C-alpha cells in the first residue's frame, strides 16, 4: 500500500505565507516535497522558505496576487521552470475580510470575495491544468470550507464562493479523472488563524463559535496539513471529486 510520502514530488501552494497554507507547505517539505510558495507577502514567504529549507527541501518564493490572471500564469511557468514539473497543486489562498447581512451587502463586496476565492482557482487550474494533463498525473486540492456546505448568515458571499469551489472541484475531477489527475476539496471547519483572529481572541465570540463543535474547540492550522498530505500523496490514489471535511465534528449533526 502506498504510504504518506511525498519524496521526489513537487507542490505549488497558494496562500503559503501564513495560516493553513504555511502549515501545509511545511508538512509537505517534511514529507519530502519541493515546494513553490505563492502569496503576496514576500518577507513572510521568505520565512516559510527558511523552514522548508530546514527540512532539507527546495522552496521557490513566487509573489503573486492570485486574482491577477496574467501574474498567475507567469508564476505557474516559473514554478514549472524552477522545480522541473508540478505534481500537487494546493489552491489555498482565500478568505473574506468582512461580514454583512445580505441586504447590507454591496455588490462590489460580493465580487471581491468571488474574485479571491473562485476566480483565483480558475486562474491557477487553467494555467497548470495542461501541464498536469500532459504528464498524466497530479493531485489538485482546493481549499473550500464548511461554509460551502450549508447556509452562512452574514457570510453569504463567502459561503457561495466555497460552494462554487466544491462544485468546480467535482467538475474538474470528472473532466480530468481519466487522465490520471485527481481533484479534491478540503473543507476546514473553524480554524484559528489570522483570518478569524477577531473571533478566537474574543472569549464570548470564541465560545459561540465552538458551542456547536463536538470537539468543543478551534482547529489548528497544522490539523489541516495531515488531510492535505494524504490528498496530495499516493495514499489517496483512488480518491477524486470529494469534499473532505475536517471540522472537529461540526457538520456531523
Ligand X SMILES: NC(=O)c1ccc[n+]([C@@H]2O[C@H](COP(=O)([O-])OP(=O)(O)OC[C@H]3O[C@@H](n4cnc5c(N)ncnc54)[C@H](OP(=O)(O)O)[C@@H]3O)[C@@H](O)[C@H]2O)c1
Report the C-alpha gap between 212 and 144 in whole angstroms.
Answer: 20
Q: How far apart are CA 42 and CA 81, in angstroms?
A: 20
Cβ neighbours around 171 below 10 Å, total: 12
Nearer to ligand X, 137 or 230 (CB): 230
Q: Which stretch binds ligand X (CB under 6 A): 49-57, 78-86, 89-97, 172-180?
A: 89-97
Q: Can you tell me which of 19, 129, 159, 248 binds ligand X, judged by CB under 6 A?
A: 19
Report in angstroms how near the CB of residue 184 gets to ligand X at its nearest: 14
Q: Does 227 bind ligand X (CB under 6 A)?
A: no
Closest CA to 91 of 114, 70, 116: 116
Give the DSSP per-residue string, 215-241.
T-S-B-THHHHHHHHHHHSGGGTT--S
Residue nearest to ligand X (CB): 19
Q: Which is nearer to ligand X, 63 or 137 (CB)?
A: 63
Contact with ligand X (CB under 6 A): which of 9, 11, 13, 21?
21
Asked if residue 13 binds ligand X (CB under 6 A), the reply is no
The smaller minimum CB distance to ligand X, of residues 111 and 134, is found at: 111
User: Does residue 145 touch ligand X according to CB under 6 A?
Assistant: yes
Distance of closest approach, residue 165 Cβ to ligand X, in angstroms: 8
Count of beta carbons in the 10 Å neighbourhood of residue 201: 10
Residue of the chain from 13, 20, 172, 231 that contacts ligand X (CB under 6 A): 20
**What are the CA-CA distances from residue 192 to residues 8, 19, 40, 129, 197 (Å)?**
31, 8, 21, 31, 7
CB of 129 or CB of 189, closer to ligand X: 189
How many residues interact with ligand X (rule CB under 6 A)?
Answer: 29
Q: Which residues contact 161 (CB under 8 A, 6 or more apart)?
A: 94, 113, 114, 116, 117, 118, 148
Relative to beta strand 34-39, strand 243-246 is unpaired
Task: Please identify which of the residues 28, 158, 200, 218 carries the catalytic annotation.
Answer: 158
Kindly tell me which residue out of 5, 30, 40, 234 binds ligand X, with binding defined by CB under 6 A.
40
Choice between 41 and 134, CB closer to ligand X: 41
The x, y and z cell numbers of residue 130, run together, are 495542461
- 158 noted as active-site residue: yes
For residues 135 and 202, what is the distance between their CA atoms, to the nearest angstrom? 48
Other Cβ atoms within 10 Å of 150 Cβ, number? 10
Residues 186-225 binding ligand X (CB under 6 A) are 188, 190-191, 193-196
Under the criterion CB under 6 A, does residue 94 sit at the interface with ligand X?
Answer: yes
Cβ–Cβ under 8 Å, residues 193 and 44: no
Query: Residues in the site for ligand X, rule: CB under 6 A?
Result: 14-15, 17-21, 39-41, 44, 64-67, 92-95, 116, 143, 145, 188, 190-191, 193-196
Catalytic residues: 158
Amino acid at each position: 500500500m502506498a504510504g504518506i510520502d511525498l519524496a521526489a514530488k513537487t507542490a505549488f501552494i497558494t496562500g503559503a505565507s501564513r495560516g493553513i497554507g504555511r502549515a501545509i507547505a511545511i508538512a509537505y517539505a517534511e514529507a519530502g516535497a519541493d515546494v513553490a510558495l505563492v502569496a503576496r507577502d514576500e518577507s513572510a514567504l521568505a520565512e516559510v522558505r527558511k523552514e522548508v529549507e530546514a527540512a532539507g527541501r527546495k522552496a521557490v518564493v513566487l509573489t503573486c496576487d492570485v486574482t491577477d490572471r496574467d501574474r498567475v500564469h507567469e508564476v505557474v511557468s516559473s514554478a514549472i521552470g524552477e522545480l522541473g514539473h508540478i505534481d500537487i497543486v494546493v489552491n489555498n489562498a482565500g478568505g473574506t475580510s468582512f461580514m454583512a447581512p445580505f441586504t447590507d451587502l454591496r455588490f462590489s463586496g460580493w465580487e471581491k470575495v468571488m474574485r479571491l476565492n473562485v476566480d483565483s482557482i480558475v486562474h491557477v487550474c487553467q494555467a497548470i491544468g495542461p501541464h498536469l494533463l500532459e504528464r498524466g498525473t497530479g493531485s489538485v486540492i482546493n481549499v473550500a470550507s464548511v461554509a460551502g456546505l450549508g447556509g452562512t448568515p452574514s457570510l453569504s458571499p463567502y459561503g457561495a464562493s466555497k460552494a462554487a469551489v466544491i462544485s468546480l472541484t467535482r467538475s474538474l475531477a470528472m473532466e480530468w479523472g481519466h487522465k490520471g489527475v485527481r481533484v479534491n476539496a478540503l473543507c476546514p471547519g473553524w480554524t484559528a488563524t489570522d483570518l478569524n483572529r477577531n473571533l478566537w481572541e474574543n472569549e464570548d465570540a470564541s465560545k459561540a463559535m465552538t458551542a456547536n463543535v463536538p470537539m468543543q474547540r478551534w482547529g489548528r492550522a497544522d490539523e489541516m496539513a495531515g488531510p492535505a498530505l494524504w490528498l496530495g500523496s499516493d495514499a489517496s490514489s483512488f480518491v477524486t471529486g470529494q469534499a473532505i471535511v475536517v471540522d472537529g465534528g461540526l457538520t456531523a449533526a
